[in-house]
Amino acid sequence: MLKPDSLRAYLTAATPELRINPDKIVILVKNGNIAAAGAGSLSFEYRYTLNVIVLDYSSHADAIIVPLLAWLETHQIELFDNVEQRDKAIRFEAEFLNKETVDLSIEIDLTERVIVAIADPDETSVSGRYTITHVPEPDRIS
């Protein structure tokens, strides 16, 4: 899975409070499953809920949500294009710790496609027998 680390890096770079203290962000993968068709290939899709928790956060939630949405426009575009997903795929909870800080928990339903092919004996492969490619998200259709 590549998206959890990618989102952490993006939010940390985009949010002043997280740049100063990157340990305020916790990333968890929940409810994960593997969808594999088994149709002559070992290719599969990771499906999971990514839980982003920002601890003891003193800035406005917009400073997290706006960069999150920008990241999703590149890394999970169907959350914007599919009405059913758009209405349920991003959820949040907040615990107001005091008048200045909050613990903010955001859950996002994500997928990652992985293409697995038998390795060409002349190529360097990930596992020796297979080449594994994490497929980028398709471009948005205008």
The letter for the amino acid at 30 is: K
- CA separation, residue 47 to residues 9, 114, 137 (Å): 21, 11, 14
- Please tell me whether residue 100 adopts helix, strand or coil conformation: coil
pLDDT in tens, the chain (142 residues): 999 999 999 999 999 999 999 999 999 999 999 999 877 788 999 999 999 999 999 999 999 999 999 999 999 988 888 888 788 889 999 999 999 999 999 999 999 999 988 876 665 555 567 888 898 887 766 5
How many Cβ atoms are within 10 Å of 36's Cβ, its own excluded?
Answer: 13
How many Cβ atoms are within 10 Å of 11's Cβ, its own excluded?
Answer: 23
Q: What is the predicted pLDDT for the residue at 136?
A: 84
